[in-house]
Each structure stands twice: as structure tokens, then as C-alpha cells.
Structure 1
Amino acid sequence: MGHQFKKISVIGLGYIGLPTAAMFASRKIEVVGVDVNQAAVDTINQGEIHIVEPDLDKVVHAAVHEGYLRATTKPEPAEAFLIAVPTPFKGDNHEPDLSYVEAASKAIAPVLEKGNLVVLESTSPVGATEAMAGWLAAERPDLSFPQDKGDNSDIRIAYCPERVLPGKVMQELITNDRIIGGVTPRCSSEAASLYKVFVKGECVIASGPRVAEMAKLSENSFRDVNIAFANELSLICDGLDMDVWELISLANRHPRVNILQPGAGVGGHCIAVDPWFIVASAPETAQIIRTAREVNDAKPKWVLEKVKSAVGQFLLDNPTKSAEEVVIACYGLAFKPDIDDFRESPALEIARACTNMHPGRVLIVEPNVEDMPQIGEGASLVSLDAAHKQADVHLILVKHREFIDMAKPSGAIIDAVGIEWK
């Protein structure tokens, strides 16, 4: 079976780190989770969780109470370190921001020991794993690293991204294949034996960390480009006065065509971010990837233009009313259906923009939350029924299951997701 790991440390206890830590702990391995957020650390140590993910709460609760999982803010020695911190981008040029990876590297460097394995899991621009190896080596000149000593180094380093779907993380961590890009063959085989503790999918060894980094980015860019195609069709159909959903359902009858569904934009922490990492690594040649990002980023602005014209038309049809009296309802805030995750959500961006530009009331319907995220003055969280009764302009932004069965409201409807009205 290869190396048997007795103690693992996971750095970053967010949407990926915490489920991963819980998986190892559920296999009766000692896991120490490290996070800069003291509140998250305290919550986990009570056996509770600070994020929403089905089944995660039960696994964390059991692992903490059986003594296999605990959280701390300060790294301590372990046999393997998994780094799962954010990798956002910065500035108008969408340059990758590796400051969290650098901070994590410098935090674990003092406790590294000969024979340790360090795995970067964060979705990263090409070259990030080598950058991490460089930061670790600079902090610990007393240890040898694979970039210098090859397979005989004291420390092993690999890259291994996840590819899980929010809402199905606990199943997909087990069943999905993993790509492992070790700096050397020995680094790869040790990382593979670590993940085989719980991964039932295949652990596929890449020729190195760079191609593994690029594979993860390419997966999300593939999705982004295909969504951009659907979103661009929705704009074209609108200009030609056609129903884009009818068009797509007709085109998809071709046996080799599978056009995705358009939406209000593209959200989530991955698809809205990762393609920019490819663009940053090849700015001259990444043309379709860049354009797809721009098409998807522009979709919320297009939706807002539809709102403005719907309000304008309503005022023309109701000359006794003022703009302050027009009520807009936004249906859905999450970045995809039936979850409560708002990261990079175009629906949330549109709801905020509506509130900023519209002098009247904005009603928000989001069945997956009890407390609304910060949107602005004039916005209030209401029931589906209340929005139906009170709003003049209805803006459907997310295809939550509660909306699929709803009756068609009266008033202007801007449907960004293709509800089939009763």
C-alpha cells in the first residue's frame, strides 16, 4: 500500500479543506486542521461546521468527538501537509494572487521534518507548486527539496487539485478520479498512497505539477467556454426576437450537439476565476478563453439593461406612477440552483445593482437562506407569495426548485434561466 500516514495536517478549512480533513479523519487518521479564522477553528472544535454542505456536519461531528479531528490557528508537526487556501486574482488584469499559498508555506515551514509530504490542493496558476517548493526551501535551508535533490530529497512535494461539486462534495471526494502531479516520481507515488486512504476513483499520475495545474484550469475553462456560447446565443436570440430555450432544445436534437443552458452570468469560485489563470500564463494565445470570460462577465450588465427597460416600459404603461412606486422582485441569489453559496454569484451582483440604481423597493426571494447577505438599502427578503403579489417587475436569476413550479406572475418578467411557466 506504500507509506502509511498517521498524522495529516490540512491548511485552510473552507469549502474544500474541511471536507478533505473530515474524510481523512473518518478513516481513523489523526488530522489537524489549521485556519487563520479563530471563529471557524472554535466552531469545528465543538464538532460543528461554519459552512453548508450536505453530510459534512455528521462526519465532522463524529470525527471531532472520536478524537481524530481538531482545529488550530498555529501549525504543528505532521507527516503530510495539504494546502487548501484561496487563490483569488488581483487587479484589473486578473493577475493570480498567490499570497495565501505563500503565507501557508511560511507558516508550515518551521514545523517541517525530514520525510514529510507537502501537497498543494488550491486551484492554481501554472508554476504555483514550484513557487511553493521555492518558498519552503528558502525558509528551511537545512532540509533538501525535490527541485534540487530529486527523489532523494528530505521533503516530497506534489500538486493534487479537487474537482468536486458544491452540494455533492462528500460523495465526489470519494468517487472522482484525482490527478497527482509530483515534482518527482517518488513525490507522486507518496501523494497517491495518501489519497488512496479514501479515494475510490483512480489516482492518475501526471508527468509533473505544471500539467496537473493546467488540467484543473482547463476543466473549468471548458465549462466556461461552453456556458459563454449559450449566453451569447441568448443575447443573439433576444435581438432576433426568438426564445433561446426553444432554440437550444431544437439544436440539441442533433446527436452530437449538447448546448448548455444560458443564465444570468457565471458564478462560483472556480469557473469565474480559473480561466483568468490560463489567460495570465499565455496572454497572447488564450483568445477564446479570454473572450468566453468577457462574454460571461458581461451577461449581468445585459440583464440589468433589461431591468431598466422593463421599468421604463412599466412607467409608460402606468403614467400615474413614479419610479419610486415600482417594485422589483429578484428571484434567487446563489451562484447555482438549490444551494446557499454566494461566491462570485452573478445573481447577487445583479440584485445589488438593482438596489443601487432603482429608487423603489427591491424584494429578494431566496429560499435557501434565512438571513440575506448585504445587498443595500431598500432590499428586503420576502416569501415567493409576497413577491408574486407585490412586484411589478419579476427578475428570475436562479433556477431554484421552488421557482420551477411557480405560477406565472403578473407584470413584466425578465427570465434569465428559462422557467417553463405553468
Structure 2
Amino acid sequence: MKITVVGLGYIGLPTAILFAKYGNKVTGVDLSPVMTANLNAGLIHIEEPGLTKDLNEALALGNFQASTTPVSADAYIIAVPTPNKDDLYKSCDTAYIESALTSFLSSLKKHDTIIVESTIAPRTMVDVVQPLIENEGFTVGEDIYLAHCPERVLPGNIMHELVHNPRIIGGITEKCTEKATAVYGAFVEGEIIKAQAGEAELSKLMENTFRDVNIALANELAKISYHLGIDALRVIEMANKHPRVNLHQPGPGVGGHCLAVDPYFVIAVAPEQSPLMQTAREVNNSMPAHVVAQVKAMMAEQDGNTVTLFGLTYKGNIDDIRESPAMEIKELLTESGFNVKAFDPHVISATLTGEEACEDSSLIVVLSDHSEFCEIPTNYTDKMRTQVIFDTKNTVQTVGEDVTYYNYGNLHQAKKQQQAVTI
């Protein structure tokens, strides 16, 4: 089968490589000539275990080629970004999808299959994608087979989960569903869940909205516990001993292209029916400012002005800074007049070493749960003016004996100390 994948980001590239690895002739399309040239030379631009190995295997088989323009294929997969619009409810911007589709419309022939993997708002397939195809004279379901097949993978384990996770296939018609199912049969070993397009759209959005709402509950609990002088992490630990309770962990906010974005796609199409989702977004969006307020209170006791951020990504052990609350916290602290230094071993632009980032610092704020941060070496903290750590991810397990350590469990103790100093 000949397959063209438009969009070679965190989902499109692994998808394209897997199709090629499993014997299909794949053209991966991206607008960047530098990126496509690097991919053809076996060099990837994202951090994902196993991806480089599989790319080079696909290249050796002669089954993968990156290009800046689409080529004629039997199946086309769209995996481009769908950002929020700058409107009241941050609705879904389909401009990249429309552009991707337009790029290969002239190559379409009868009985081709088009699959949209990008996360989209409900009714996007029917209201946006289908009309663009039928304006070319095709009838969807008869001439062209159209489906929405959202990904549901965890960064850091994408290559395994693309193969083994259940896959939702949401066709415009039953025939579309069957044709898209046949495409993914090339490598998917997980359960195939056949659905209508609208069901697939809303299901993917609700998976991420569920997590967003539950994280908001944990973040709100952290604020309540701080106010009451109670250990939030101990409360969560005990509550989760209940066989039917699974409270999430609080953090500095919610990031990434999924949890911080997808709920708005539902909110925008049904604002009056989604008050809970809107409140959850407000709570999670408030966390960067909450963290900055705690940092200001801690730094008010110090004679220094340097704050060190450990981690810029939205989650651990990846290089993705999209919608990362750490980036917002960095900006807010800088605007507040602090000298902000950052250390992130997974982000190329964060060029400082741990020792360099800690030199003359009065506070380390852990914002990503990288495995490298489980232990904070003494050669880092020995460089600090004041050895204090505020761990917003509860990821640090070992620190030097001279280090004062705070997380959402004992943060209220810092508050008491600050009040005592004020008195």
C-alpha cells in the first residue's frame, strides 16, 4: 500500500515510520526542507525511544521518504497541529487540516482513503473536511473513504502504544470505517473500535478532558490543604487506599498539546453545557500563578534574586515544551524581576548545566518530573546561595542534608515559617 502522511511531528512521524517498517511505501510530508533532509539521512528532530532505530530500518528497506510535497497514494493520513483559536472559548483552529487536505486534493482518485489523526472538535469531519472533498466532485463513502482515527499514546512509549493500544476508527459511513480499518491493519495489534466519526471526535476529547478535570481536583486540593495547613500528598495517599478512588497528583499546571488544549474544543461547541470543564480549565490555568506566588514568598526571606528552574517540559523524560506551565512560570518570574536560570537535560535550548544553573541561586523550583531530578546532587546545591528546593512535581527523592525541601505536602510549613519571620 502507498501511504502519504502529512505532518511529521510527535504523532505523524512515528505513524509514518511504523507503516513503512511494516512493509508499506510511505511518503512523509512536512514543510521544512531541513527536517525532511535530516529524516532522509536518518536523523530525527524529536526525542522518542526507538524512533531513530525504526526510521533507519524503514530507510534501509526503501519504504520511507520524507518530502516537502505530497505524492499520489492509496491512503492519506493527516497528522498536523490543531491549535486553539484566539476567541472567547479557544475553539479548534482547523486551518492546518484544511491546508494539508488541499495539498493533495489534486492527487485524489476514486477509492482512496483519507484519515484525519489530528485531534479535532466534534463535527469537524462532517462540517469542514467532508465538504472540501465533495467540492472536488467526489462522494464520500462511495468515491472517497473518510475517517477520523485519533491517536491515544503516551510520549516516551509511542512506538509500542501505536501498535498495541486500542484504536478508534470513526468513519463517515460504515464503508469508510471498513476501509480505514484495513489501513491500520498493517500494524495495529490492539483492539479495533469501530465508530461513527462524531463519536471518535468526542471520545478522544473526553479522554483528555477526564484527566484535565481530575488534575484540577488535585490542584484545588493542594490549594485547600495549603490554606488549612494539611499535607495534601498524605491526604491523596490515604484517599487512594479506597478501592474506588484514584485522586491524581497536583502540579504546576497542565501542558502539552492534549490536556491543555482539547477540553476547549468541547467547551467551544457547547459552552452552556460544559461548566465543569470550564472550571477545571480555570483551576489548572491558575497553577503557574500559584507557584509564582509561593516562589515570591520564599524568595522574600532571601538576600539573593536568582531562581533556578529544573525542567521546562510539560512532563517528564520528553523534550516537548508545548503549552508547558514551566514556560509560563519562567516568564512570570522574569517579569517579576527575578534572575531566572533553567536546567533541562531534555531541552536543547536549555544550555546550562545543573551546576551552572544552581550557582548563586537561592531557590530551585522543580517543574518537570524527569528521572534526572529524582536525586539532586550536592555538587549542584553546594553552588547555591541558599539551599532550598520547591518540588511542584513531588519527584525529588534524595537531597543533601543541608537542603530545605518543600513540596505540596509540607508547603504549609514554609508558610508558617514565613509568618513567624514576619512577626
TM-score, normalised via structure 1 length: 0.89
- Between the aligned partners of 1:414 and 1:230, the Cα distance in structure 2 is 18
- Between the aligned partners of 2:273 and 2:198, the Cα distance in structure 1 is 18
Q: Which amino acid aligns with 2:269?
A: S
**Structure 2 match to 1:367:** 345
- Please state if 1:355 is matched with 2:352: no
Check conservation: 2:46, 2:319, Cα contact below 8 A: no
- Between the aligned partners of 2:300 and 2:73, the Cα distance in structure 1 is 62
- Between the aligned partners of 2:28 and 2:356, the Cα distance in structure 1 is 44
| 2:146 aligned counterpart, secondary structure | strand
- Between the aligned partners of 1:411 and 1:9, the Cα distance in structure 2 is 53
**CA shift for structure 1 position 269:** 0.9
**CA shift for structure 1 position 390:** 2.7
Residue 108 of structure 1, aligned match among 104, 109, 116: 104
User: Where in structure 2 are the equivalents of 1:228-247 lying within 5 Å?
Assistant: 228-247=216-235
- Between the aligned partners of 2:2 and 2:389, the Cα distance in structure 1 is 56
**CA shift for structure 1 position 358:** 2.2
**Structure 2 match to 1:335:** 314
What residue ranges of structure 2 are gaps of 5+ in the alignment?
Answer: 400-423
Q: Which amino acid aligns with 1:76?
A: V
- Between the aligned partners of 2:352 and 2:331, the Cα distance in structure 1 is 13
Q: Which amino acid aligns with 2:337?
A: H
| 2:272 aligned counterpart, secondary structure | coil
| 2:273 aligned counterpart, secondary structure | coil
| 1:117 aligned counterpart, secondary structure | strand
Residue 97 of structure 1, aligned match among 89, 93, 98: 93
Q: Which amino acid aligns with 1:399?
A: D
- Please state if 1:41 is matched with 2:20: no
**Structure 2 match to 1:317:** none
**CA shift for structure 1 position 27:** 1.0
Check conservation: 2:312, 2:367, Cα contact below 8 A: yes
**Structure 2 match to 1:414:** 390
- Between the aligned partners of 1:241 and 1:220, the Cα distance in structure 2 is 31
Residue 8 of structure 1, aligned match among 3, 10, 16: 3
Q: Which deviations, in whole Å up to 9, do the C-alpha atoms of 1:11-51 show, x marking residues without a partner? A: 11111111001011001110111112222211112222121
- Between the aligned partners of 1:188 and 1:137, the Cα distance in structure 2 is 18
**Structure 1 match to 2:192:** 203
Check conservation: 2:326, 2:367, Cα contact below 8 A: yes
- Between the aligned partners of 2:377 and 2:39, the Cα distance in structure 1 is 42
| 2:66 aligned counterpart, secondary structure | strand
- Between the aligned partners of 2:171 and 2:228, the Cα distance in structure 1 is 51
Residue 59 of structure 2, aligned match among 64, 74, 77: 64
- Between the aligned partners of 1:76 and 1:415, the Cα distance in structure 2 is 49
**CA shift for structure 1 position 243:** 2.0
More displaced, 399-408 or 332-341? 399-408
**CA shift for structure 1 position 420:** 4.4
More displaced, 98-107 or 36-45? 36-45
Check conservation: 1:263, 1:417, Cα contact below 8 A: yes
**CA shift for structure 1 position 356:** 2.7
Q: Which deviations, in whole Å up to 9, do the C-alpha atoms of 1:313-336 show, x marking residues without a partner? A: 32xxxxxx4xxx422111111111
Check conservation: 1:217, 1:278, Cα contact below 8 A: yes
| 1:96 aligned counterpart, secondary structure | coil
- Between the aligned partners of 2:370 and 2:69, the Cα distance in structure 1 is 40
**Structure 2 match to 1:227:** 215
The structure-2 alpha-carbon separation of the partners of 1:46 and 1:386, relative to structure 1 and needing over 3 Å to count, comes to: closer
Residue 404 of structure 1, aligned match among 348, 363, 374: 374
Residue 134 of structure 2, aligned match among 133, 137, 155: 137
**Structure 1 match to 2:296:** 308
The structure-2 alpha-carbon separation of the partners of 1:351 and 1:343, relative to structure 1 and needing over 3 Å to count, comes to: same
- Between the aligned partners of 1:145 and 1:370, the Cα distance in structure 2 is 44
- Please state if 1:299 is matched with 2:287: yes
- Between the aligned partners of 2:9 and 2:154, the Cα distance in structure 1 is 14
- Between the aligned partners of 1:218 and 1:103, the Cα distance in structure 2 is 26
- Between the aligned partners of 2:271 and 2:330, the Cα distance in structure 1 is 32
The structure-2 alpha-carbon separation of the partners of 1:228 and 1:109, relative to structure 1 and needing over 3 Å to count, comes to: same
CA RMSD of aligned residues (A): 1.7
More displaced, 19-28 or 391-400? 391-400
Check conservation: 1:47, 1:65, Cα contact below 8 A: no
User: Where in structure 2 are the equivalents of 1:114-133 lying within 5 Å?
Assistant: 114-130=110-126, 131-133=128-130
Q: Which deviations, in whole Å up to 9, do the C-alpha atoms of 1:365-394 show, x marking residues without a partner? A: 21223432xxxxxxx7231x4555532122
**Structure 1 match to 2:239:** 251
Check conservation: 2:28, 2:64, Cα contact below 8 A: yes
**CA shift for structure 1 position 258:** 1.2
Q: Which amino acid aligns with 1:60?
A: L
| 1:253 aligned counterpart, secondary structure | coil
Check conservation: 1:363, 1:382, Cα contact below 8 A: no
- Between the aligned partners of 1:52 and 1:407, the Cα distance in structure 2 is 25
Q: Which deviations, in whole Å up to 9, do the C-alpha atoms of 1:180-232 show, x marking residues without a partner? A: 111111110111111011000011101x1001100000000011011111111
Q: Which deviations, in whole Å up to 9, do the C-alpha atoms of 1:262-297 show, x marking residues without a partner? A: 111011110110000010111001111111111111
Count of residue pairs the alignment pairs up: 390
Check conservation: 1:47, 1:62, Cα contact below 8 A: no
- Between the aligned partners of 2:347 and 2:7, the Cα distance in structure 1 is 25
Q: Percent identity?
A: 42
